[in-house]
Amino acid sequence: MTSRPSTTDDSAPASAGASPPGPSQTSPLLDLVIAGVSLAMGVALVIHAQDYRAMIPRTVIGPGLLLTICGVVFTGLGVTMGLGAVRRLPVGAPRGAAPQSLRFALLVPALLVAALAATPAIGFLPAAALSAFVLMKACGARWLPALGATLVLGAAVHLAFAEVMRVPLPAGSLF
Amino acid sequence: MLDTLAQAMALVGTPTTLLAILLSCAFGLFVGAIPGLSATMATALLVPFTFYLDPIPAIATVIACTTMAITAGDIPAALLRIPGTPSSAAYTDEAHAMTRKGGGGQALGTLLVSAFLGGLFGFAVLAIAAPALATAALRFSSFEYFWLAVLGLSCCALVTGGSLAKSTFALFVGLLASCVGMDPLTGAARLTFGSTNLMGGLSFVPAMIGLFAISELMNGTQTGATGGVTRIRNPFAGVGTILRRYRVNLLRGAGLGTLIGALPGAGGDLGAWISYANARRASKTPEKFGTGHPEGLVEAGATNNAALCSAWIPATVFGVPGDAVTAIAVGVLFMKGLNPGPQLLTENPQNFYAVILIFLIANLLILPLGYLAIRAAGLIFSVPRAYLNGGILLFCAIGAFSVNNSLFDVGVMIGFGIMAWIFSRAAIPVAPVILGLVMGPLVERNFLTSMIASRGDFLGFFERPVSATLGVVTLLVWLIPLARIAWRKISATRSLRHAEAHASRHPETH
């Protein structure tokens, strides 16, 4: 089944930058989810913005103004993008990332979170270097070169940041 | 005048000053080319060294380092899709697309030479028209600044391509992120959820690293890319032809950059975004933008350095910094007793001309040092992707931390990285997010100040001639594409009806 050009493609052709899919290739289901998030966020923001007092009485001028504007725009965009996605739903099949590649993509933030979690024990630089090593391995690097590269990179980063620039990299309880 | 110039040359021509310029250039190149380290960070790191230098060598280190770091920021932008500065983020995707097509050297060469020529243009303006331009810029009020910022944001949303709704969504995500922390006028805490880490707002450098570098890593690992080898032989090959073809873009970019840079408070970052948008709008082949087309690079590259030079007009003549870097420089000027302000021109004009001569030298050094840096950076691509990914992850983590020495910023980077990855799945551009985040406080502060001044009357934004002009231009920037979309839809409906009517009148032919 071929997918129809997106009805939300309402301006210039898509850039062929680094973003993997073009607008017409995106999953309408994902577009619908983003539209839903936009709508929910918009409504929540408009409600939340009412908590801030206006600087000039009987006007909306105050800390809540930009939040209100953002809320209104998000609500409008949610409706617009949602309608566009709904129109494509019966035609375009949901196209998510393949489970394996999704696991690879999630590995990067997972490694960074793991580095943050390991920092109190082994220090930030060793933890980040360890994450870099795991990423190298996950991308197919061999054990020994990956280990060597990690050590060289770790030493270079330590020299540049900790020694030359005097950045106080957090130490751990073990190192 | 000639005596003053001779005195300025004598001040700059000392071995200490020349050595300071050369070493600062090398330092700026090094820091600017490292993903995650910004020109502002490079300049800030040099300030302690200026304590030990005389006034002119001290200010020379700041100027030379900034000029070179901003130019070097294009290297990771083109090769790794990690912009070194907010201004290079405007054309990161374009330059990276050229690299993917095998034209990484040409992209960098084009940016380098455009920056050099734009810088020379900015230098000439700085030397000749500094006082007049600064006076004009000082007449700008919050009304004009508001429209200027909104114009920049609008250009950014409209230039990124793809769905207008999605670009606008990305822009407002950035604006919303800029709301986090204390309100610029009243100090009310917004969207902090009780976290003290969020009280100071979201730092844009970790956000920028997350949006561009982490998402790229996630996309790279996902596609299992192993990284092709791209040799960068001669970055200047073919650049002459490109510059001749796009000479109008070059001049327009340099002129626009000079004008925007001269506005105190606007900073040079805005220039590249407006310039890139302008290049696309004026182009005969706008469909090529985003696919690795050098036209936008020429214009935005020239804007970058021209704005960098002219940003010193308000900084030196009136002591009003244009951006973070010039704010640091103004601090150094005060520290060294060079007190920026009208007296810099009236009492010690040789110091003012020494400052602009330093610009000239730093600009001249862009070409040879930039050439060497680009050749060396080409080696990045001879490293297998697995090791490069590991290195980038490490630099991103440490770079995000080092901005405020805060692990919380690493979390911010992760959050923005995941968001950018989801955005890339949904074809939502990420560039507007970063500009929204950077420009959000400027827009809000000027909007609220103007609204208070006009007692809540929005017509006040159209009462001053320059403000009204900028306002009308901004509205047109939004209305023209919307009208075009509406017209396209009406035309499509008409054609469909016409075809149906034709089919019903002549059923035998179908």
Q: What is the pLDDT of residue B263?
A: 67
Report d(CA B338, CA B63) in Å as an integer.
Answer: 15
Mean pLDDT (chain A, rounded): 79
Q: What is the pLDDT of residue B292?
A: 83
Q: Which residue of A has its CA nearest to B214?
A: A108
Q: Which residues pair with B189 in a beta bridge?
A: B182
Neighbours of B441 (CB within 10 A): 18
Instruction: Classify residue B463: in a domain, yes or no.
Output: no
Q: Is there a contact between B219 and A80 if contact means CB atoms under 8 Å apart?
A: no
From the list A8, A160, A168, the residue facing B405 with the nearest CB is A168
Is the model's pLDDT at A22 over the cut of 70?
Answer: no
Q: How confident is the model at residue B144 (pLDDT cuts 50, 70, 90)?
A: confident
Q: B314 in helix, strand or coil?
A: helix
Q: What is the pLDDT of residue B473?
A: 86
What percentage of residues in chain B have a pLDDT greater than 90? 6
Report d(CA B395, CA B96) in Å as an integer.
Answer: 19
Report, as an integer, the average pLDDT of B79-89. 75
Average the pLDDT over each of A98-102, B85-89, B199-203 and give the range with the smallest value: A98-102
Q: What is the pLDDT of residue A10?
A: 32
Q: What is the pLDDT of residue B507?
A: 64
Q: Which residue of B has its CA nearest to A167?
A: B402
Q: What is the pLDDT of residue B180?
A: 93
Q: What is the pLDDT of residue B320?
A: 63
CA dihedral defined by B264, B179, B70, B48, rounded to 10 degrees?
80
Instruction: Classify residue B474: in a domain, yes or no.
Output: no
Q: Is there a contact between B221 and A139 if contact means CB atoms under 8 Å apart?
A: yes
Q: What is the pLDDT of residue A140?
A: 85
More confident residue, B61 or B313: B61
Instruction: Classify residue B120: in a domain, yes or no.
Output: yes
Is the model's pLDDT at B456 over the cut of 50?
Answer: yes
Average the pLDDT over each of B65-69, B126-130, B198-202, B401-405 and give the range with the smallest value: B126-130
Minimal Cα–Cα distance from A2 to chain B, Å?
A: 18
Report d(CA B401, CA A128) in Å as an integer.
Answer: 11
Instruction: Classify residue B372: in a domain, yes or no.
Output: yes
Q: Chain A contacts of B161, Cβ < 8 Å?
A: 11-15
Q: Is there a contact between B402 and A161 if contact means CB atoms under 8 Å apart?
A: yes
pLDDT tens digits, one per residue of B146-164: 887 788 778 767 766 568 8
Q: Confirm if B78 and B100 have CB atoms less than 8 A apart.
A: no
Is-above-0.80 flag for pTM?
A: no
Minimal Cα–Cα distance from B408 to chain A, Å?
A: 9
Q: Is there a contact between A135 and B390 if contact means CB atoms under 8 Å apart?
A: yes
Is the model's pLDDT at B177 over the cut of 90?
Answer: yes
Instruction: Classify residue B464: in a domain, yes or no.
Output: no
Closest Cα partner for B130 from B7, B269, B262, B252?
B262
DSSP assignment letter at B461:
G
Is the model's pLDDT at A23 over the cut of 60?
Answer: no
* Distance between start and end Cα atoms, chain B: 84
Q: Is residue A1 exposed (0-12), middle (13-18) or buried (19+ Cβ within 10 Å)? A: exposed
Interface contacts (A, B; CB < 8 Å): 258
Q: How confident is the model at residue A150 (pLDDT cuts 50, 70, 90)?
A: very high
Q: Is there a contact between A11 and B481 if contact means CB atoms under 8 Å apart?
A: yes
Neighbours of B22 (CB within 10 A): 16
Q: Is there a contact between B393 and A108 if contact means CB atoms under 8 Å apart?
A: yes
Q: Chain B contacts of A135, Cβ < 8 Å?
A: 217, 221, 386, 389-390, 393
From the list B179, B221, B426, the residue facing A104 with the nearest CB is B221
More confident residue, A95 or A120: A120
Q: Confirm if B83 and B73 have CB atoms less than 8 A apart.
A: yes
The amino acid that residue B30 corresponds to is F
Q: B60 in helix, strand or coil?
A: helix
Q: What is the pLDDT of residue B373?
A: 82
DSSP string, B355-384: HHHHHHHHHHHHHHHHHHHHHHHGGGGGS-
Q: Which residue of A has its CA nearest to B42?
A: A165
Of A77-86, B218-227, B449-458, which one has max mean pLDDT?
A: A77-86
Q: How confident is the model at residue B357 (pLDDT cuts 50, 70, 90)?
A: confident
pLDDT tens digits, one per residue of B271-306: 788 888 888 888 888 888 888 888 888 988 888 888
Q: Is there a contact between A11 and B413 if contact means CB atoms under 8 Å apart?
A: no
Q: Which residues pair with B181 in a beta bridge?
A: B190
> Residues B316-333, buried b or exposed e (16+ Cβ, 10 A)?
bbbbbbbbbbbebbbbbb
Q: Is residue B466 exposed (0-12), middle (13-18) or buried (19+ Cβ within 10 Å)? A: middle
pLDDT tens digits, one per residue of B225-239: 444 445 666 788 888
Record the tokens describing residue B385, joined without a space: 């992707």
Mean pLDDT (chain B, rounded): 80
Q: What is the pLDDT of residue B97?
A: 87
What percentage of residues in chain A have a pLDDT greater than 90? 43
Record the tokens describing residue B102, joined without a space: 């095998």
Q: What is the pLDDT of residue A2?
A: 33
Q: Is there a contact between B402 and A165 if contact means CB atoms under 8 Å apart?
A: yes
What phi and psi values does residue B447 have, to the nearest 5 degrees? -65, -50
Q: Chain B contacts of A26, Cβ < 8 Å?
A: 425-427
Is the model's pLDDT at B218 over the cut of 90?
Answer: no
Q: What is the pLDDT of residue B367?
A: 86
Report, as an integer, the average pLDDT of B356-365. 85
pLDDT tens digits, one per residue of B399-410: 888 878 889 999
Q: What is the pLDDT of residue B226?
A: 41
Q: Which residue of A has its CA nearest to B162?
A: A14
pLDDT tens digits, one per residue of B95-139: 888 888 888 888 888 988 998 898 888 888 877 776 666 666 667
Neighbours of B335 (CB within 10 A): 14
Q: Confirm if B280 and B97 have CB atoms less than 8 A apart.
A: no
Instruction: Classify residue B22: in a domain, yes or no.
Output: yes
- Using CA atoms, how far residue B11 sits from B82, B175, B358, B490, in Å, is 38, 45, 10, 67
ipTM above 0.90, yes or no: no
The amino acid that residue B26 corresponds to is A
Report, as an integer, the average pLDDT of B478-499. 79
pLDDT tens digits, one per residue of A25-65: 677 888 899 999 999 999 999 999 988 888 777 777 888 88
Report d(CA B201, CA B189) in Å as an integer.
Answer: 10
From the list A26, A56, A135, the residue facing B389 with the nearest CB is A135
The tally of domains found in chain B comes to 1
Helix axes B15-33, B55-72, angle to 10 degrees: 30
Q: Is residue A7 exposed (0-12), middle (13-18) or buried (19+ Cβ within 10 Å)? A: middle
What percentage of residues in chain B have a pLDDT greater than 70? 85
Q: Tokens 């035998």 identify what position? A: B508
Q: Which residue of B has its CA nearest to A124?
A: B398
Q: What is the pLDDT of residue A14?
A: 32
Q: What is the pLDDT of residue A1?
A: 33
Instruction: Classify residue B481: in a domain, yes or no.
Output: no
Residue B435: which domain range? 2-453
Average the pLDDT over each of B380-384, B391-395, B466-470 and give the range with the smallest value: B380-384
Instruction: Classify residue B402: in a domain, yes or no.
Output: yes
Q: What is the pLDDT of residue B318?
A: 64
